[in-house]
Structure 1
């Protein structure tokens, strides 16, 4: 049970700033951002607890942290936050459809791993510049936060991001910048947003959000569970998380999914005897439900903190994910040209036709990949079999 509580605390505290930064970037106000964080925490807890209880497997559900980073990179779409909510709803429907229609899930898995990882890396890279920008702009406040993160990374890596967030609280309080306002404003309230369906937001937010959530979260989570000898029930997981994502979209939540990074905490040996590790997943789910009550407080703190410092903690929280994504993207030499093209375009923040860089990055990478495959086959002759481009 302690392993589950730790997993939820690390997941919530370590990436809540990323979620809030993403929601605010696509146009949410403070009330809508608090509602989004509230519904994401509740959804992760309820769905994760139900899955673990029913299957007796250590299935842990969390929000899509790379998806939140995508929102930071995407920025506010035409149509404002209502259009972003429409994109969240479409993403949830696609996640559920992947559970019902195996061909859709297979199509996502068929995207070369280096390209999927490269798109994730391109999304994360600009966000991870946050600590450097903060140190340059506010060195007196940013350096202690980065220093705490660095020390804890060496001695207790799982506590590095929560420690950095605690350091930020202390630094902001000592600077006299912390003004949380009346206590009534700290209680999270659901805020309904009528979805608006804009083509640019669907192509630029919904599709990349779906792909990132599937490739970087669901597929990775299935792999983590498999490494500990568990076979995840793919259809129930995708159906339940997709349906919950679609339902929570109108309250500001972007997406939930099978946990990847925190999955190791509830599925590994630290969670207890193998046959009882599902209990750790249930305790993680209960902790997420309890932490949902902190959504208003977290939003109020973020609103009272210099944005560059919030971006610094968000960047620190994503450095591990960026390291993994870059490693997977560039590990295979034959795929490096298309991976580099994907990273560069996705990280550029370039937008065309109202569609953000993540989509164009993946499209650029796929184009380079297909052209190089065609050239390799042409050089080998028309009767040659498929060859990996070099």
Structure 2
């Protein structure tokens, strides 16, 4: 009895931190996930299925890892990967080919943990090129809020104002509050036009798609998705945990995220990975002074994700009925911080600025050759410029 009373007083901190981790992780980027899935050929029902499957597997994965290792390990879907999809196009093989690419991505992530040389190969990709590719992919999405000012100014301005105010006062809640403002605007539109939503459509449902392996989709979607997920999510996720004094179980974490990605791929899920930015919410001091009990924050986050999976269907229906451009504006606001970080990393090394610039521009161009999207050609172009122009540059 004495032990339980000694443990309880500090439980509220990790539990609250876990709930915040899930809420921020989900609300700040689910619109990006929906946009990416729709661009690659998913119907509204298939995109909703993908969001549900991703949310559920993220929750299950967090629960398993936090219970097994008693560490504040949190997972998320690949937001940069979803942004990459949103800047791509429907592959020649349609949605089944995109699903096949998601499956290949999961296999590659799992293999990275099992085959050491594959991990070393990924680590050899210059970080500034991976970040330049990400920045170029994000640019068109980050322009959406400001482009919407020309088409639906009265709807977008309140959302941008809330985002700006929240960024100054409560930065980690900036995107969730912007989403809340967007939902309020959508609700006002519903009331103004008398829109009625069928309650039966709010329940989350899963839709299965048989994957097909299309070479162009594997090269144009799976490989860039794998690279951006590893470089922008998994590797930084390990670094964030290390900054708080925790050593992530690398191989088991990649096994869980890789297999999780493969499992949800037929349901429309694109990629699962170690959380990077939101990981600090569960591993940092906000989860309590006792470092040995911060794993409770991760466990709570996992359970919270499972709860959020139950309401994902309702969010998809409401978002789907939103005025054109409004949800895209929220997604763009959510990615501005990520793009700023990626741009800074792309040009931080004076010796690699030309290759970074070429990679960035190719990724932002929307180029498609042989059915393969610009993200792949951006990496190829950046590596080529680096080999030709920068290989003899003097090192600092």
Q: Is the Cα–Cα contact under 8 Å of residues 351 and 390 in structure 2 kept in the other structure?
A: no
Structure 1 pair 218/305, CA: closer, same or farther in 2 (3 Å)? same
Q: Residue in 2 aligned with 1:212?
A: 228
Q: Residue in 2 aligned with 1:246?
A: 262
SS at match of 1:28: coil
Q: Residue in 2 aligned with 1:279?
A: 296
Q: Aligned to 1:196, which of 200, 209, 212?
A: 212
Q: Residue in 1 aligned with 2:389?
A: 372
Long gaps (5+) in structure 2? 1-14
Q: How does 1:106-255 map to 2 (within 5 A)?
A: 106-175=120-189, 176=192, 179=195, 181-255=197-271
CA displacement, residues 81-106 of structure 1 (integer Å, 9 cap, x when unaligned): 11100000000000001011011111
Matched residue pairs, number?
379
Deviation at residue 375 of structure 1 after TM alignment: 4.3
TM-score scaled by length of structure 1: 0.95
CA displacement, residues 122-141 of structure 1 (integer Å, 9 cap, x when unaligned): 11111111101111111010
Q: Is the Cα–Cα contact under 8 Å of residues 172 and 178 in structure 1 kept in the other structure?
A: no
Moved over 2 A (4+): 175-181, 372-376
- 2: CA distance, partners of 1:74 / 1:64: 15
- 2: CA distance, partners of 1:305 / 1:210: 31
Q: Residue in 2 aligned with 1:15?
A: 29
Structure 1 pair 319/180, CA: closer, same or farther in 2 (3 Å)? farther
Q: Is the Cα–Cα contact under 8 Å of residues 45 and 207 in structure 2 kept in the other structure?
A: yes
Q: What's the C-alpha RMSD, in Å, of the aligned pairs?
A: 1.2
Q: Is the Cα–Cα contact under 8 Å of residues 180 and 304 in structure 1 kept in the other structure?
A: no
SS at match of 2:378: helix
SS at match of 1:253: coil
Deviation at residue 179 of structure 1 after TM alignment: 3.9
TM-score scaled by length of structure 2: 0.94
Q: Is the Cα–Cα contact under 8 Å of residues 32 and 252 in structure 1 kept in the other structure?
A: yes
SS at match of 2:325: helix
